[in-house]
Amino acid sequence: MKNELILGNIKNGLIVSCQALKDEPLHSPLIMSKMALAAYKGGAVGIRANTVADILKIREQVDLPIIGIIKNEYKNSKIYITPTLKEVEELIRADADIIAFDATLRKRPDNTTIREIIMHIHKAGKLAMADISDYREGKNAFELGADLVSTTLSGYTDYSPKCDCPDFELISRLSKTIRIPVIAEGRIVSPQDAVKCFKNGAYSVIVGSAITRPQEITKRFTNAIQDFDEIILKKTAR
């Protein structure tokens, strides 16, 4: 897909993150491809996927823009979303339409700069999505040439605000001050959250755990029930 067409296709739509970590029961390229197909049938305009194997299998099932990432942990850095040029190159070969990477200001494992990451992505003709955690990082990524910024990492760095809800303030501030699409991602657990993200200026919304991770969905229900049970027990103990 041409980049302009990709951006047009995802505008004002829902992107579904189809990922399962190695210790989760759904960890499988085949299962993630079926998850992506279900998302497509439900109206998703794009897919965010982790690993080359998942991207290739998802491509067999749906003709949607794919945001590719590779999560990889390195001992010398806290960055793990597409942390080095090695992962970027793998995503280019997998033909991900958009390559997302950690664009926080933390030290990278291979000491590459954000500018170098973006330039490498652009050289391959791909769109570069900067996953950021605060306003400073979003503005920096824009100034360095990123095509999109995503609020993915808000709340996941030591210096970004901790909250159980989406970072509406960050979405709003970025959308008013930078001239590239601002993608809302992180702790969007309901359709109402998604709509509020759009009201705050989001170009698109990415939802993952609330749709594609049954373990996390189940936990929310069981935790709520447990809290309710504890309230009842306290009342009956009086």
Closest listed residue to residue 17, CA positions, set 47, 44, 43, 42 = 47
Closest listed residue to residue 57, CA positions, set 40, 39, 35, 32 = 32
Tens digit of pLDDT for each residue in 86-136?
999 999 999 999 999 999 999 999 999 999 999 999 999 999 999 999 999
Kindly report the pTM of this predicted structure.
0.95
What domains appear along the chain, each with residue ranges and CATH number?
Answer: 3-213 (3.20.20.70)
Query: How do the residues of the chain divide into helix, strand and coil, expressed in percent and rounded to 5?
Result: 45, 15, 40
pLDDT for res 238: 67
pLDDT for res 222: 95
Give the helix ranges, DSSP H, for 114-155: 114-123, 135-143
DSSP 8-state secondary structure symbol assigned to residue 182:
E
pLDDT for res 232: 77
Give CA 110 to chain center in angstroms: 22
Dist. CA 18–CA 168, nearest whole Å: 23
Whether residue 46 is predicted with pLDDT greater than 80 in this model: the reply is yes
Structure tokens at 40: 């497509």
Dist. CA 189–CA 181, nearest whole Å: 21
Q: What are the phi and psi torsion angles at 230 (to 5°)?
A: -65, -35
Tens digit of pLDDT for each residue in 76-89?
999 999 999 999 99
Dist. CA 16–CA 19, nearest whole Å: 9
pLDDT for res 141: 98
